[in-house]
Amino acid sequence: MKDLDLRAKHSWRSTKSTLMSGLMLLAVLVVSIPLVAVLWSVIDRGAGVALHDFPAFFTNEIPLVSRRAGPGMGPAILGTLLVTGGATLLAVPLGILGAVYLHEYGGTGKFAKAVRFMSMVMTGVPSIVMGLFVYIMWTMRFGYSAFGGSLALACLMLPVVIGSTEQMLRLVPNHLREASYALGATKSRTIVTIVVPAALPGIVSGCLLAIARAAGETAPLLFAVGAATAFNPSLFDEANTALSVQIFGNATSSFVAAQDRAWGAAFTLVTLTFLVTLTARVITARFALKR
């Protein structure tokens, strides 16, 4: 009878398996440590600065003398919105149109394949290279402006928007297209009124994720945007600034006041990107086509 006892023995094999599962759990904990630590630091040191004397931090100009204590990131917040907004206006329509070409017209043709391949290559271009490229092409001729930053961010966003939009177009069932053709609609009309609207929630969500990433980029802005301390509501004229650039500049300052402003700016930026990402997630969960 004892020979038929099939219960697992506490052998080295099962101990090893449990041990490895434990190590995997440990990996999960290790990953959560930096996340918790970074978010804790940002909230602990940034929330107080950003919310003190609300809304002074969001509306005041940046102190000219960086060792002076006090609030002020207003121009940087405006700058981030301007730069990212400009990039969105450039990259989103172009990216969606490009993806429409890739999926609806190009298919597996040579040109479409080349664009898809190059788009993937473009995803891997380091952001600082984009920054230098825009500096040479734009800033050297037209000087510092928010728009230079927009151009650099748009270059970074474009392949991401193309990729996520094409994914979404792929999920649109073919019978929708066929039904539209059967009603006599042209291809362009079918795309504009049937295919893109069907995929729209997914497209919007993908674009929002790209925007959230772009809003946090620093390197491409360093050379193109400049370093203003006063409000500059113009997209094209004069130097501007951005939250990420201010964090970068103030992080290495030896003055506590400047470091405080960096943490406040970090708190603002993280809140912004989290909100955009959250919106994207909600749209995906509620409205997007599923695989």
Partner 1 sequence: MQLFELRGRRQNGDRAFKWLAIGAAAVVLVVLALIAFVMTKRALPVLDEMGGEFFTSRRWSAPEGIFGALPFIFGTLYTATIAIAIAVPVSLGVALFITQVAPPRLKKPMIYLVDLLAVVPSVVFGLWGVLVLSQHFGLGRSFLTAGIILAIMITPIITSLAREVIETTPNTDKEAALALGATRWEMITAAVLPHSKGGLVGAVMLGLGRAMGETIAAALVIGSSLGQITLNAFASGNSMPAVIANEWGEADALHKSALIGLAITLFVITIIVNLVATAIVQRSTKRSRGS
Q: According to CB under 8 A, which residues from 142 to 171 bind partner 1? A: 155, 158-159, 162
Query: Taking the complex as a whole, how short is the minimal distance between the CB of residue 84 and partner 1, in angstroms?
Result: 12
Which of the 8 DSSP states describes residue 107?
A: T
Q: Of 35-94, which residues contact partner 1 (CB under 8 A)?
A: 35, 37-39, 41-42, 93-94
| Residue 70 Ramachandran class (φ > 0 left, ψ -120 to 50 alpha, else beta) | left
Write the CB contacts of 95 (distance below 8 Å, at least 6 apart in sequence).
157, 158, 159, 160, 161, 162, 165, 207
Measured from the CB atom, is 36 or 234 closer to partner 1?
A: 36
Q: Return the residue of 1, 4, 30, 64 that touches partner 1, per CB under 8 A.
A: 30
Amino acid at the residue 260:
D
Query: Taking the complex as a whole, how short is the minimal distance between the CB of residue 274 and partner 1, in angstroms?
Result: 6
Measured from the CB atom, is 74 or 116 closer to partner 1?
A: 116
Q: Return the residue of 89, 118, 230, 282 that touches partner 1, per CB under 8 A.
A: 118
Measured from the CB atom, is 51 or 227 closer to partner 1?
A: 227
Measured from the CB atom, is 15 or 234 closer to partner 1?
A: 15
Write the CB contacts of 132 (distance below 8 Å, at least 6 apart in sequence).
223
Which of the 8 DSSP states describes residue 236?
A: S
Distance (Å, whole) CA 36 – CA 39: 5
Q: Of 221-250, which residues contact partner 1 (CB under 8 A)?
A: 222-223, 244, 247-248
Q: Return the residue of 48, 53, 68, 105 that touches partner 1, per CB under 8 A.
A: 105
Q: Return the residue of 167, 259, 271, 279 that touches partner 1, per CB under 8 A.
A: 259
Measured from the CB atom, is 9 or 234 closer to partner 1?
A: 9
Q: Of 167-226, which residues contact partner 1 (CB under 8 A)?
A: 186-189, 191-192, 212, 215-219, 222-223
Query: Taking the complex as a whole, how short is the minimal distance between the CB of residue 96 and partner 1, in angstroms?
Result: 8
Closest CA to 214 of 153, 128, 138: 153
- Find out whether the peptide bond into 55 is cis, omega within 30 degrees of 0: yes
Q: Return the residue of 1, 2, 10, 23 that touches partner 1, per CB under 8 A.
A: 23
How many angstroms separate the Cα of 276 from the Cα of each of 92, 202, 204, 235?
15, 14, 11, 22
Cβ atoms of residues 214 and 87 within 8 Å: yes
Contacts with partner 1: how many residues (CB under 8 A)?
88
Block residue for tokens 């004892």: 2
Measured from the CB atom, is 109 or 233 closer to partner 1?
A: 109
